[in-house]
């Protein structure tokens, strides 16, 4: 059983292509998209006519274009991988941030929060996660002068409704951070410290 010969790619040395001719092509190829035969001629101190004949015989233009397309493909793949890594990092940061927010929310008296405070808590709890998922960087689109529909709705709530809304916000933030439903009241200080330590460890991984 014989192994098949490796494929000769356009930018590789071609069958029966002289080594010196291939070296001239490599110089031409690596000049980038502003490449010209004249630039190669100047660099190697050869006549343009001679190099133009080589370029025509060995199809420098087509081979260099194939090289450019491959470089573009590799760049796009690398960029996509970097974006995936960035999204993962942002998701870890978001999880750590949300865990800290949940721990802090458990110590806050909802009756003392203003509508603006609640709107800001909701924005902080979700903004980084939305960015990591590629969603719009806003939870208050079509905003009014006071910060948008979320705040406007809160301002219309009674004190009891506002407390219910805040507790629902705590539950949502806890679920997003993977903490489960937080209990009402001030929360256990020891548990607060433990959650903050866990969140700090998650952030330090980054």
DSSP states of 180-193: -PPPSSS--HHHHH
Q: Looking at the domain assignment, is residue 159 inside a domain? A: no
Inter-CA distances, 121 with 92, 102, 112, 141, Å: 19, 10, 14, 16
Give the pLDDT of residue 1: 43
Q: Looking at the domain assignment, is residue 39 inside a domain? A: yes
Give the pLDDT of residue 175: 63
What's the domain count of the chain? 1
Inter-CA distances, 84 with 76, 77, 78, 79, 81, Å: 12, 11, 10, 9, 5
Q: Looking at the domain assignment, is residue 25 inside a domain? A: yes
- CA separation for the pair 149, 126 (Å, rounded): 16
Q: Looking at the domain assignment, is residue 23 inside a domain? A: yes
To the nearest 10 degrees (0 to 180), the angle between helices 37-44 and 19-29 is: 120
Terminal C-alpha separation, the chain: 50
Give the pLDDT of residue 138: 53
Q: Looking at the domain assignment, is residue 29 inside a domain? A: yes
HSE, CB side, 13 Å, CA atoms: give it for residue 89: 9
Contact present, 110 and 126 (Cβ < 8 Å):
no
Q: Looking at the domain assignment, is residue 146 inside a domain? A: no
- CA separation for the pair 102, 66 (Å, rounded): 54
Q: Looking at the domain assignment, is residue 176 inside a domain? A: no
In terms of residue numbers, what domain contains 16?
7-85
21: closest CA among 64, 61, 50? 50
- CA separation for the pair 37, 47 (Å, rounded): 10
Inter-CA distances, 46 with 40, 42, 50, 143, Å: 8, 7, 7, 67
* Whole-structure pTM value: 0.45
Q: Looking at the domain assignment, is residue 43 inside a domain? A: yes
- CA separation for the pair 92, 160 (Å, rounded): 35
Dump strand ranges (E) for the chain.
none
Contact present, 48 and 37 (Cβ < 8 Å):
yes
- Per-residue pLDDT of the chain (206 residues), as tens digits, is 456 677 899 999 999 999 999 999 999 999 999 999 999 999 999 999 999 999 999 999 999 999 999 999 999 988 888 888 887 887 787 777 767 766 776 777 766 777 777 677 667 666 656 655 656 555 444 444 454 445 545 566 676 776 676 667 666 666 655 554 444 444 443 344 444 444 444 444 44
- CA separation for the pair 127, 196 (Å, rounded): 20
């Amino acid at each position: 059983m014989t192994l098949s010969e490796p494929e000769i790619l356009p930018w590789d040395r071609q069958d029966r292509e002289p080594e010196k001719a291939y070296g001239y092509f490599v110089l031409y190829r690596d000049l980038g998209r502003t490449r010209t035969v004249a630039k190669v001629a100047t660099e190697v101190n050869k006549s343009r006519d001679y190099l133009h004949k080589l370029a025509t015989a060995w199809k420098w233009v087509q081979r260099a274009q194939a090289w450019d397309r491959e470089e573009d493909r590799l760049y796009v793949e690398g960029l996509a991988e970097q974006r995936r890594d960035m999204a993962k990092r942002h998701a870890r940061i978001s999880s750590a941030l949300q865990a800290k927010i949940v721990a802090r929310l458990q110590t806050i008296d909802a009756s003392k929060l203003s509508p603006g405070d609640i709107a800001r808590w909701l924005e902080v709890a979700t903004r980084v996660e939305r960015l990591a998922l590629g969603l719009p960087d806003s939870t208050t689109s079509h905003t009014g002068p006071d910060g948008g529909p979320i705040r406007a709705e809160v301002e219309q709530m009674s004190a009891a409704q506002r407390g219910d809304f805040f507790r629902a916000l705590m539950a949502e933030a806890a679920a997003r951070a993977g903490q489960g439903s937080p209990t009402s009241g001030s929360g256990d200080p020891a548990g607060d410290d433990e959650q903050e330590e866990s969140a700090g460890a998650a952030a330090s991984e980054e």
